[in-house]
Amino acid sequence: MKFITGSNSPEQNSLVGDIRVSGDKSISHRSIMFGSLADGKTEIKGFLEGEDALATLAAFRAMGVNIEGPENGHVIVHGVGMNGLKAPKEALYLGNSGTSMRLLAGLLAGQNFSVTLTGDSSLSSRPMGRVADPLRLMGADIETAEQGRPPITLNGGASLKGIDYDLPMASAQVKSCVLLAGMYAEGETSTTEPAPTRDHTERMLAGMGYSLSRDGACTRLTGGGQLKAATIDIPADISSAAFFMVAASIVPDSDLILRHVGLNPTRTGVIQILELMGANISLSNEHLVGGEPVADIRIQYAPLVGIDIPERLVPLAIDEFPVLFIAAACATGTTVLTGAEELRVKESDRIQAMVDGLVALGIEAKGTTDGAIIKGGCLGAGHEQVDVQSHDDHRIAMAFAVASLRSSSKIVIHECDNVATSFPNFASLARSVGFQLIVEA
């Protein structure tokens, strides 16, 4: 599948609308996982019906959990308790979802049955040693392919012991993996992270009755606890909202409202970075839903300027950098990103993929080991059509769809199938607020 975008003109329509983007992917994953392990019936509203979250849902069905739905974001999970999962009949296929694989590795390391976790070609190239190593320290019997890549096989019956683990990188997936294994371990397990990362796991565990403590960068829990069923109202995903935040920021006279967006403080780096660049962003209707802060976000056009992105904000915006590269390309001056080497081991090498696409569009951009240097300019100048490869990475594809709003040339974005992993209605929602976007098989 590919996206074909219209070329921009001086008469480019502004983006105007009042929309709600898809449900938060991170919370959708965890709602299925923890609802399955809880005692009782968990009702979920706003579930993201994208391929990644559906892979998690299918995995728990394969392990004997009765799950009704999803139907228009509504899911009912009949929990089997902490020790009620059953051995699947075959390997669990997790598609493109790194979150599913890394968190499931932790949850399944202490089960009494063996299971193999597999994925598509993209997921099969991603590093899993970062979760296999701490799990082995806890006593897990775990096998990976060469260089710590998937598939992962967890041999059942291992007796886990709690550990104090200092994360070598800022990764919510690794932190969550260790904590979830800790629920099945003897004694106390702690994680200490070098920089703040999203804390949806900690919030939802606490909200469903599992006792844990948090002290700065350190989180602790003791094995043997229980989870209680709950009603979970999933906020709109700030990572999906980010595409529209940047879009409205770069198109003159735009005025967009994004409803019920999750504003977990470990996820708001994209807002802080855009505001440092001069974006006009305001919040209203701020409140808590299931322990997660949410608000309506209004974005009005404002000229952006290049900045040196503070490294402290990088972990708080790690998934939003592809579209932030587009903001940088449309800004006056130069934007410098450092401390973001994690971007090189996502669904694609996101630094290289974005730099290559921007250079094809005539922007002066250079990748570095841990980031990029981007000089704002005129997108698409001198070209009738520019072809961009998204490398089967949903965020790369959507980022260049946003770039088309300021491009003087038509952009054809290839390999867009995986947009369905995180934002299945992106194209239709984008068109509803003014994007010129055609989806072609």
Residue labelled with tokens 């660049």: 277
Residue 392, SS3? coil
Q: Which residue has the tokens 């903001």?
A: 327
246 contacts 323 by C-beta, under 8 angstroms: yes
Report the alpha-carbon distance of residue 91 to residue 151 in Å, rounded: 9
Q: Which residues contact 56 (CB under 8 A, 6 or more apart)?
A: 28, 29, 32, 33, 94, 97, 99, 100, 104
Token pair 């867009």 in the structure block, residue: 416
Contact yes or no for 121/150 (Cβ under 8 A): no
Chain-centre distance of CA 420, in angstroms? Answer: 13
Distance CA 97, CA 196 (A): 22
Write the CB contacts of 324 (distance below 8 Å, at least 6 apart in sequence).
Answer: 242, 246, 270, 273, 274, 309, 317
Q: Is 319 a catalytic residue?
A: yes
Q: Does residue 366 contact residue 352 with C-beta atoms inside 8 Å? A: no
What is the distance between the alpha carbons of residues 291 and 312, in angstroms, rounded to a whole number? 24
Strands 188-192 and 164-166: parallel
In angstroms, rounded to a whole number, what is the distance separating the alpha carbons of residues 53 and 269? 23
Which member of 52, 199, 237, 319 is catalytic? 319
- Please spell the DSSP secondary structure of 221-265, one letter per residue: EETT---B--EEEPPBPHHHHHHHHHHHHHSTT-EEEEEEEE--T
Phi, psi (degrees; rounded to nearest 5) at 203: -65, -45
Residue 168 preceded by cis peptide, ω within 30 = no
- 98 contacts: CB under 8 Å, gap ≥ 6: 123, 126, 173, 346, 347
CA distance 340 to 316: 11
Q: Are 143 and 152 in contact (CB under 8 A)?
A: yes
Token pair listed for 396: 């790369």
Distance in angstroms (rounded) separating the CA atoms of residues 137 and 163: 8
Sign of CA dihedral 142, 145, 149, 153: negative
Q: Which residues belong to the active site? A: 319
